[in-house]
């Protein structure tokens, strides 16, 4: 677990860049929906919601990148991004296998790995701080 604490900057950079790829949904919402879920939504409200969704996820990536360079902000960035990823994972898995054959399935696996690394870092950080006192 100690290696995660020492390498968290790089883990967060990779996680942040991968998460920032969802800015794609803010730029091309229909293409992003089709590649991620195999379906699209029609209408101006759908465009608005999907663009907002993509921007918010992209901002989670920016927050992870920021946290990579600002260690005091890491626990907050990892907690918020981790919770966001867990909500996405839960929502996709609640649909059964419906979306797992698309990029959403890949995102579930990658996000699970990220969340596991985030949790291990937070535990390791807590242990490190506890041993200093």
- Distance between CA 93 and CA 131 in Å, rounded? 38
Which ranges constitute the DSSP H helices of 21-102? 23-27, 29-37, 44-69, 74-93
Q: Which of 20-24, 95-99, 111-115, 125-129 shows the lowest mean pLDDT across its residues?
A: 125-129
- 12 HSE (CA, 13 A, CB side): 31
Assess contact for 88 and 111: CB atoms under 8 A. Answer: yes
pLDDT at 48: 96
pTM: 0.91
């Amino acid at each position: 677990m100690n290696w995660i604490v020492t390498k968290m900057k790089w883990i967060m950079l990779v996680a942040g860049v991968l998460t920032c790829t969802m800015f794609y949904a803010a730029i091309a919402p229909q293409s992003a929906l089709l590649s991620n879920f195999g379906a699209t939504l029609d209408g101006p409200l759908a465009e608005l919601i999907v663009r907002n969704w993509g921007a918010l996820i992209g901002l989670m990536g920016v927050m992870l990148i920021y946290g990579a360079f600002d260690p005091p902000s890491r626990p907050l960035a990892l907690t918020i991004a981790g919770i966001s990823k867990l909500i996405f994972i839960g929502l996709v898995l609640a649909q059964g296998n419906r979306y797992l054959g698309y990029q959403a399935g890949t995102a579930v696996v990658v996000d699970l790995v990220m969340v596991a690394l985030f949790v291990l870092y937070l535990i390791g950080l807590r242990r490190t701080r506890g041993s200093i006192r």
